[in-house]
């Protein structure tokens, strides 16, 4: 099967030629499923994952070279991102008639192997979620005022319960104290020159050939602004301006979604990523979209205040705004070949 033009950083989003036939080997099936997995969301679009296709399983490996040392010093968001890749693979597997048995953190001697996945034939399912994989986007533009459907909210709660993840859906005036925490987080983060430097290192011009990072159009920047804005961010503390913008986005969104867990460890972070995928794909399948406002989680001092404002007993892991917004371009992705490790020896 054709894999497309790998010099085009948007080529991995073209999945039109990907099918699975009964004659495909286990390795062929794994490669096809992994082409969907690499479309998972990740912090700053770092794509911090690697994959090893072995005789009886797929190992999903944290790529610590792509970690965000300033904003994510504990690799919490990195592990969530890897979990999102696992979750995307699960949805694709279900569509093609496979059950993905996920063994989490099973080898203490290999701490970077966060999950091992074995495949077995099963009834096909998750077709709506599967169809949403190439359509999912993080939309940072304002949303329409119409509310999420109650049936959709109920389904989101069912989706995250599969992974023992908690979800709080925040409407109306309850959004306002959380919006203030988001703005406070912006002020703290943007005052940190190291934070700004790290952020800018993952920002890309609109016409960049890079296959990772965030292109300027994701922020609504013109081609010229996509070149100039990183220099401005690196040089100046724009926390007040960013806080005002994010406060407006939060209060203007029909709903804020907080994903939380009962404990705070790698296993729960991975579960959060798997649950996140189902939330984002469920929204997409219903014509909605989302983007992240994680500042009150990334700033440790604000995390417990966020939990109290949201009324959750869990530990906050991700904060999203959800609603109905405009269609935007996809972000670049690395081709699978760049993330693939063929053997155990290649991992060392």
Query: Do residues 101 and 56 make contact, with C-beta atoms less than 8 angstroms apart?
Result: no
Token couple for 15: 């999945």
User: 168 and 127, same structural domain?
Assistant: no
Do 33 and 96 touch, CB atoms closer than 8 A? yes
CA atoms of 331 and 210, how far apart (whole Å): 10
Q: What is the pLDDT of residue 4?
A: 43
The pLDDT score that the predictor gives to residue 346 is: 45
Q: Which residue has the tokens 């700033």?
A: 299
DSSP state of 60: E
Whether residue 205 is contained in a domain is answered as no
Domain annotation covers residue 59: yes
Closest CA to 28 of 3, 61, 62: 3
21 & 114 share domain:
yes
Reported as a single tens digit per residue, the pLDDT across 72-83 is 999 999 999 999
Question: Which domain CATH number covers 316?
Answer: 3.40.109.10
Per residue in 81-112, pLDDT tens?
Answer: 999 999 999 999 999 999 999 999 988 899 99
> pLDDT tens for residues 22-37?
899 999 999 999 999 9
Instruction: Tell me: do 319 and 343 sit in the same domain.
Output: no
Examine residue 199 and state whether it is found in any structural domain, yes or no: no
List of residues 6+ apart from 178 with CB closer than 8 A: 170, 250, 256, 296, 306, 309, 310, 319
Residues 22 and 131 in one domain: yes
Tokens of 54: 């072995």
Has residue 169 been placed in a domain? yes
DSSP 8-class letter at 36: H
Asked, for residue 242, whether it belongs to a domain, the answer is yes
Strand 49-53 versus strand 340-341 pairing type: parallel
Residues 281 and 174 in one domain: yes
Mean per-residue pLDDT of the chain: 94
- Residue 207 falls inside a structural domain: no
Task: Give the pTM.
Answer: 0.95
Residues 132 and 154 in one domain: no
Number of folded domains that form the chain: 2
CA distance 230 to 64: 24
The reply to whether 73 and 129 lie within a common domain is yes
In a domain, 96, yes or no: yes
Amino acid 5: pLDDT: 44
- One domain for residues 77 and 116: yes
Co-location of 116 and 253 in the same domain: no
Residue 198 in any domain: the answer is no
Q: Do 169 and 318 belong to one domain? A: yes
Task: Give the percent of the chain with pLDDT over 70.
Answer: 96
Q: Which domain holds residue 71?
A: 11-136+334-347
pLDDT number for residue 7: 74
User: Measured on CA atoms in the order 120, 126, 130, 136, is the torsion positive or negative?
Assistant: negative
Report pLDDT digits (tens) over 103-162.
999 888 999 999 999 999 999 999 999 999 999 999 999 999 999 999 999 999 999 999
Residues 158 and 272 grouped into a single domain = yes
Same domain for 55 and 175, yes or no, is: no
């Amino acid at each position: 099967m054709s894999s497309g033009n790998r010099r085009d950083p948007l080529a991995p989003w073209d999945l039109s030629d990907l099918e699975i036939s009964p004659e495909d080997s286990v390795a062929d099936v794994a490669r096809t499923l992994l082409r969907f997995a690499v479309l998972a969301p990740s912090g700053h679009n770092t794509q911090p994952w690697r994959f090893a296709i072995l005789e009886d399983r797929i190992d999903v490996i944290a790529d610590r070279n792509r970690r965000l040392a300033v904003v994510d010093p504990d690799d919490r968001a990195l592990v969530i991102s890897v979990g999102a890749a696992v979750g995307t693979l699960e949805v694709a597997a279900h569509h093609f008639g496979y059950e993905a048995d996920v063994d989490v953190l099973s080898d203490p001697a290999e701490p970077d192997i966060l999950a091992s996945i074995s495949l077995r034939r099963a009834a096909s399912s998750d077709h709506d979620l599967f169809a949403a994989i190439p359509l999912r986007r993080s939309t940072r533009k304002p949303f329409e005022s119409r509310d999420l459907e109650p049936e959709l909210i109920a389904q989101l709660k069912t989706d995250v319960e599969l992974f023992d993840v908690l979800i709080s859906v925040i409407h109306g005036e309850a959004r306002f104290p959380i919006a203030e925490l988001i703005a406070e987080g912006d002020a703290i983060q943007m005052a940190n020159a190291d934070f700004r430097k790290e952020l800018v290192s993952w920002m890309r011009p609109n016409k960049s050939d890079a296959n990772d990072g965030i292109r300027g159009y994701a922020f609504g920047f013109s081609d010229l602004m996509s070149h100039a804005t990183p220099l401005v961010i690196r040089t100046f503390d724009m926390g007040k301006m960013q806080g005002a913008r994010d406060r407006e986005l939060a209060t203007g969104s029909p709903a804020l979604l907080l994903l939380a867990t009962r404990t705070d460890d790698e296993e729960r972070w991975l579960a959060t990523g798997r649950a996140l995928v189902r939330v984002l794909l469920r929204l997409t399948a219903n014509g909605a979209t989302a983007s992240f406002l994680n500042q009150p989680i990334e700033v440790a001092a604000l995390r417990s205040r966020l939990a109290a404002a949201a009324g959750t007993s869990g530990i906050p892991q991700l904060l999203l705004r959800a609603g109905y917004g405009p269609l935007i371009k996809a972000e670049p992705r690395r081709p699978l070949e760049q993330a693939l490790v063929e053997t155990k020896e290649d991992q060392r």
